[in-house]
Amino acid sequence: MDEHLAKAEQFLAAAEFSLDSGMADAAASNSVHAGIQACDAIRAARDSTYTRGKNHTDAIPILRQAGAEGRTAATLLGRLLAIKSKAEYDTTAITMDAARRTVDNARRLLSLAKGVRAG
């Protein structure tokens, strides 16, 4: 779990730096990675045999069954993955407002993951 949390923190720091530097796409992309790692941390904390699957979206129904924190995490992860999907189809640059919201969602997910670790 700690490895996932450490990676989530790295990606979030990169997202915040990108946002402060006016690089919206990089901020959003790093936020998505941070959120995915935070969800991996939550799942690893709940299930010691957990290994990451090939599709991050499949984590959503599993997280939804993991109490109130899990449901919130599932919704936040869904938001982040929607940004990722959009970027895969649409080459239009993301707005700074959207990037800011994406970084916020990643921050909330990381905070949830730390809460789960703290027990």
Partner 1 sequence: MDLTNPASSVVPALRARILVLLARSDAGLTGRRVAALAEGSVAGVAKVLESLVGAGLVHRIDAGSASLYTLNRDHVGAPAVELLATMRAELINRIRRDISQWSCLPVGAVLFGSAARGDGADDSDIDVLLVRPASIDDDDAAWADQVSRLGSAVLAWSGNTLNVVEYSPDEVASDAPGRRAVLSRIDTDGVLLHGTELRILRRRTRAVGR
Cα–Cα dist 21/77, whole Å:
24
Least Cβ distance, residue 74 to partner 1 (angstroms): 5
Name which of 22 and 53 has its Cβ closer to partner 1.
53
* Residue 70 Cβ vs partner 1, minimum distance, rounded to whole Å: 11
Using the rule CB under 8 A, which residue among 38, 44, 105, 110 binds partner 1?
A: 105
In degrees, rounded to 5, the angle at the alpha carbon of residue 71 between the alpha carbons of residues 98 and 18 is: 25
- DSSP-derived letter for residue 22 is T
For residue 6, give every residue at least 6 positions away whose Cβ sits within 8 Å of its Cβ, in sequence order, or none: none
Per the CB < 8 A criterion, the answer to whether 32 and 83 are in contact is yes
Q: Which amino acid is at 61?
A: P
- Residue 51 or residue 91: which is nearer to partner 1 going by CB? 91
* Distance in angstroms (rounded) separating the CA atoms of residues 36 and 11: 10
Least Å distance, CB 16 to partner 1, is: 17
Binding mask 37-66 for partner 1 (x = CB under 8 A): ------------------x-xx-xx--x--
Which residues of the chain form contacts with partner 1 (CB under 8 A)? 55, 57-58, 60-61, 64, 71, 74-76, 78-79, 81-83, 85-86, 89-92, 98, 101, 104-105
